[in-house]
Amino acid sequence: MPELHSNSKRITTLIVVFNMMSLPITTTAATESDLSDLSPQERAFLEDDSFFKTLDVQDSLLKWVEPNKTQGKYWLQNDITIDHDSLSTGFVDFTQCHNNLDAIHAIEIVYNAKTTENLTVLSSKGVGSTVTKAASIALRNVQKDAKICISGKTKTLTFDQKQQHWQLARGPYMRKFLDGYYPMHVQETIQWSGVNINWQKTSVLDEAKQQFISLFSNEDRSNSTLANQQLLPVSNQEPFPKMALHSDNTRIQNHYWFEGKLKIHYLFIQNN
């Protein structure tokens, strides 16, 4: 469960929590009635319940949505690098950018302390100040459409002895407000140049069935859209996620437009 770090009078604090590089976004409302330390915009937001009445609240089950449903809203860009050492240590390098943040007094990006190292703020825009700790980054005085980019290392690559493949676990990603889940876009790029592995399959968790289902497979490599690095749909019916495989077979880029919780497994096998 996310832990709320805020002044006892502070009504709203945005908590972004990472669990194996996960992205739940939650805004928690306290029961305090003292609004004296809030800005006029924050006070007006809390006293007007029309915002909550107009939102189309979804449950946690994963649902693909049209890309235009996420335009202008918060979205996440993740770049993951697997190097030779990753195969033995399980650590991969990441760079991620949080885009179109909401205007709010405080945001805390919290990572899994057991799997995260070397957190660094690379750049920010529209953020008053940042404080970096071992497993979290606190943002203060965040303006509308603010952006922050962060780098670090995360231990999320494991080897399955039985199946003889490497599994890179990502998520769960979510954009959560109170008890609802709202549209989100995740762009995730994974590269493994110089490493003797090959991407095999991308799967996502079907929460209703509690099992991972395949989205993309290396069996589709013969498809010209993959070979030409174009975005390949997961099905012939929109909406759907899309993926591109780099022509030298060392990078994949994925776009997910969704509501609910998104948990992903990328499978890699050793090259013959």
What's the predicted TM-score (pTM) here? 0.77
Quick one: tokens of 250?
């060392």
| 14 vs 271, higher pLDDT | 271
Is the CB of residue 152 less than 8 Å from the CB of residue 94? yes
Look up tokens 């998104």; give the residue. Answer: 262
Q: Hey, CA dihedral for 172, 110, 53, 104, is it positive or negative?
A: negative
b/e map of 215-236 (b: 16 or more CB within 10 Å)? Answer: bbebeeeeeeebeeeeebebee
Q: How far apart are CA 158 and CA 217, in angstroms?
A: 19
Dist CA 17 CA 110 (whole Å): 4
Contact of 272 with 167, CB cutoff 8 Å: no
**Per-residue pLDDT at 27 exceeds 60:** no
What's the CA gap between 187 and 243, in Å, rounded? Answer: 10
Token pair for residue 65?
């949505």
| 245 C-beta neighbours (distance < 10 Å), count | 23
Lowest pLDDT segment from 61-70, 91-100, 223-232: 223-232
**pLDDT value of position 221:** 52
Higher pLDDT, 26 or 180: 180
List pLDDT tens digits, range 80-138.
999 999 999 999 999 999 999 989 889 989 899 999 999 999 999 999 999 999 999 99
Question: Where does the pLDDT of residue 238 fall: very low under 50, low under 70, confident under 90, or very high at 90 and above?
Answer: low
Model pLDDT, residue 177: 75
Mean pLDDT for the chain?
A: 77
Highest mean pLDDT (candidates 50-54, 233-237, 239-243, 252-256): 252-256
Nearest alpha carbon to residue 238 among 1, 20, 66: 66
Instruction: List pLDDT tens digits, range 151-188.
Output: 999 999 999 999 899 999 998 898 887 778 889 999 99
Task: Report the pLDDT value the prediction gives residue 123, as an integer from 0 to 100.
Answer: 98
d(CA 38, CA 98): 24
Q: Which value, in Å, is the radius of gyration of the alpha carbons in the chain? A: 19
Higher per-residue pLDDT: 234 or 103:
103
Torsion, CA 227, CA 228, CA 234, CA 237, rounded to 10: -140
Residue with tokens 């990502």, as numbered in its chain:
170
Spatial strand order in the sheet of 211-217:
157-160, 165-173, 262-270, 197-206, 211-217
